[in-house]
Amino acid sequence: MILDANDTHATARLTVHKTVPGTAEYHDIMAIRTSRSSGHHAGDSGDASADHYLAVVDGRPLACMRVQQARRGRLDCEEHYPAAFVASFRGLIGSASRLVRRADAKACPDVMRRFVAAVWRDQYRDGIRVDLINVHVPMVPYYETMGYELVAGSAFVHPRLQTSSMVMAMLAEPSVRSSLRTAFEGGHDPELMQALRANLFGNGVSAQRESA
């Protein structure tokens, strides 16, 4: 499946492919992951049930990302996510990971923003309303610019990568200031968003970033 990821002001032509393991696109995804890490860390058991996305610019694979949906099974690092929240809203929870740009590619923030927005537009249409992720501590500011918020008391050491990590969440709220808010237009349910926020953050306000 090819997703729409372009706008009238785009300077680079971006094509986003949604795919599954065993395809040519998935092979390209694994090559991108391997360019940034050892082959041992390129894939894991979560790949089998996840949605996989490949960004292609000017005919060349540039970046990849995957999204697990909690309704399909256990999420990567789910033991570190708020258990009561996951149990109550499993059918609405996605968990994005493996956002990787090819190692030899130049930084391209606009293309990456459009890529991630296309992924979340697709997930939103599939019923996902919140993204729960685990983030390596140095990457927290980057995810904050996209609208992710820290979950209080969520610091942990990633069991596979052994990195200092934190849990972050993004709610599908088009009214919130975020570079991804246009992905959540249409079908907005303010009461559902209020319930998600109250259950995830308690007082409705996300945690301040803990010092690394």
| pLDDT tens, position by position, 41-55 | 677 888 999 999 999
Distance of CA 105 to the CA centre of its chain: 20
pTM over 0.85: yes
Q: Are 85 and 130 in contact (CB under 8 A)?
A: no
pLDDT tens by residue, 178-187? 778 888 877 7
pLDDT recorded at residue 145: 85
Closest-CA residue to 55 (of 27, 21, 28): 28
What CA–CA distance (Å, rounded) separates 15 from 54? 8
Which residues partner with 133 through β-bridges? Answer: 168
Structure tokens at 10: 């785009």
Residues of the chain with pLDDT under 70: 4-11, 38-41, 203-212
> How far is CA 152 from each of CA 92, 163, 166, 200, 202, rounded to the nearest angstrom?
21, 18, 9, 9, 10
pLDDT recorded at residue 202: 82
Q: Are 123 and 68 in contact (CB under 8 A)?
A: no
Q: Are 96 and 118 in contact (CB under 8 A)?
A: no
Q: Are 55 and 115 in contact (CB under 8 A)?
A: yes
